Every structure is written in C-alpha cells, then in structure tokens.
C-alpha cells in the first residue's frame, strides 16, 4: 500500500474532520475527487458543498481554514477522516467549536461545544 | 431544546461512532429513522446496512456491540455522532480497532490502528 485512494464510484463521500490534538469531532462534510486531490495538494481541507454544488475551500470566507495533518480511509475506502488543526478555534458557521454541539446524554439535551465566535462579526 | 431530531427528509444520514474514552473515530455507517429510534431505545448502536438494505444491530454477528453513552447532532441535523464503548475492542470487520486504519501522514501510508481479533475466528 503506497497511496490512499478513496472510492468515489458511488458519488460524494462523507469526510469527517477531527481535531488532531483534542480528538474532538468538528464536522462532517462531503468530498468528490477534486476536493480530495486539492486537500492533499494544499494541505488544507477542501470539501464539496452540496448546497452550493461546488468546491468549497473550508475557511475561504471566515478565514477558519483547517490544516490537515493526516488523512485516513476506512476499510471500504468510502469514508474519509481528516486530522486537522482548526484555525480560529471553531469549525461551525454558528460559532461553536464543533458542528456537533447538540448532545443527548442521560436523557437530557444540552449544548456540548462552546461558542467561540460571533457569526455576525465573521460573516458580516 | 428538549429532544434531538435528525432530519431524515433527504434519506439516510451518516453516523460516526467515536470511542467515548479514547476519542478514536471507530467507523462511519448510515442511519434511517428506525435505526436512530432503536439506538435511543436500546442504548446500543443500530445502523442501516446499505449493502444488505436492512436494519443492522452492530455486533449482532460478532458480539461486538456498541454501548451508546451520548448522541450528538450537527448544526444542520443531518449528521450523527455517537459516543460509544466498543465491546471486543474492535469496530472493524477486518479485526482492526478502527475501520479508519489506513493513514496518509507526512507523505507515507501506514496502518494506524491495531488488529485486535482474527476475522476468521469471529465470523467463522
């Protein structure tokens, strides 16, 4: 095994971004072959935006880019895991550190991830 | 906010299983509403198997069930994160602790997750 080749034959693949230091899962987005190649070439996470139907360099608007330290594939090569350093301390457009900020635990729903920035300031 | 409701209107949602103790991302599978409800009701991870097109109680064959300690949703409620305790120490049918065992880092591809069991023994 000398390279990693995701299997894009069925279309977009889910790509998880995980904080390389804390282990926190920050977000899940989608990749096509182009996004994957640009991620590897640039060292910064690129996704395919399903809502905008185009390549999305994460942080292109907010400045909150993700430096990719490692990329992993699962056994079927149809899911991607990026280990990243998140610039600005927050991955989510809501300002939360993680997009996964709604948690159900012991029968209670709470916010489990802090708000790091004010979206109105970052996105104008 | 008093309950967590994933948005299944577009179909299956990706569900990440993360080790609640180590933070290791173990696998990514898929859920429909039924799988989500059974997961909450039983406290063990249930997915929808795309290859078999049916409900999949993870560990039903191997015994390697996942006890769910918490469930999270992302900002769009279209991705699920489960914090789990993995029975048998391995999530992957290959015997690796994590399905994400193929890693590209510093230009080198290696196996980043140990083999915990022999699949031939577990699946016969």
Confidence of residue B2 (pLDDT cuts 50, 70, 90): low
Looking at the predicted structure, is the pLDDT value of residue B85 above 50? yes
What is the C-alpha R_g of chain B?
A: 15
Looking at the predicted structure, is the pLDDT value of residue A90 above 90? yes
User: How many Cβ atoms are within 10 Å of A91's Cβ, its own excluded?
Assistant: 31
For residue A122, the model assigns a pLDDT of 83
* pLDDT tens digits, A9-41: 999 999 999 999 999 999 999 999 999 999 999
**ipTM greater than 0.90, yes or no?**
yes
* pLDDT tens digits, B3-57: 899 999 999 999 999 999 999 999 999 999 999 999 999 999 999 999 999 999 9
- For residues B81 and B6, give the distance between their C-alpha atoms in angstroms, rounded to a whole number: 11
For residue B121, the model assigns a pLDDT of 85
- For residues A112 and A103, give the distance between their C-alpha atoms in angstroms, rounded to a whole number: 6
**Would you call B25 and A16 a contact, using CB atoms and an 8 Å cutoff?**
yes
Instruction: Report which DSSP code applies to A44.
Output: B
Instruction: Report yes or no: A75 at the B interface, CB cutoff 8 Å.
Output: yes
Q: Are A103 and A109 in contact (CB under 8 A)?
A: yes
Instruction: Report yes or no: B101 at the A interface, CB cutoff 8 Å.
Output: yes
**Would you call A72 and B4 a contact, using CB atoms and an 8 Å cutoff?**
no
Question: Angle A40-B93-B34 (CA atoms, 0-180°, nearest 5)?
Answer: 95
């Amino acid at each position: 095994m000398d390279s990693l080749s995701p299997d894009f034959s069925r279309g977009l693949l889910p790509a998880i971004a995980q904080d390389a230091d804390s282990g926190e899962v920050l977000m899940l987005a989608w990749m096509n072959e182009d996004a994957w190649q640009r991620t590897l070439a640039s060292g910064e996470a690129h996704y395919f935006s399903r809502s905008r139907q185009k390549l999305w360099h994460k942080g292109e608007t907010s400045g909150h880019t993700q430096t990719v330290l490692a990329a992993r594939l699962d056994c079927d090569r149809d899911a991607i895991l990026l280990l990243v350093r998140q610039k600005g301390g927050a991955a989510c457009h809501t300002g939360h550190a993680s997009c996964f900020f709604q948690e159900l635990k012991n029968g209670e729903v709470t916010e489990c991830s802090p708000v790091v920035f004010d979206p109105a300031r970052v996105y104008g």
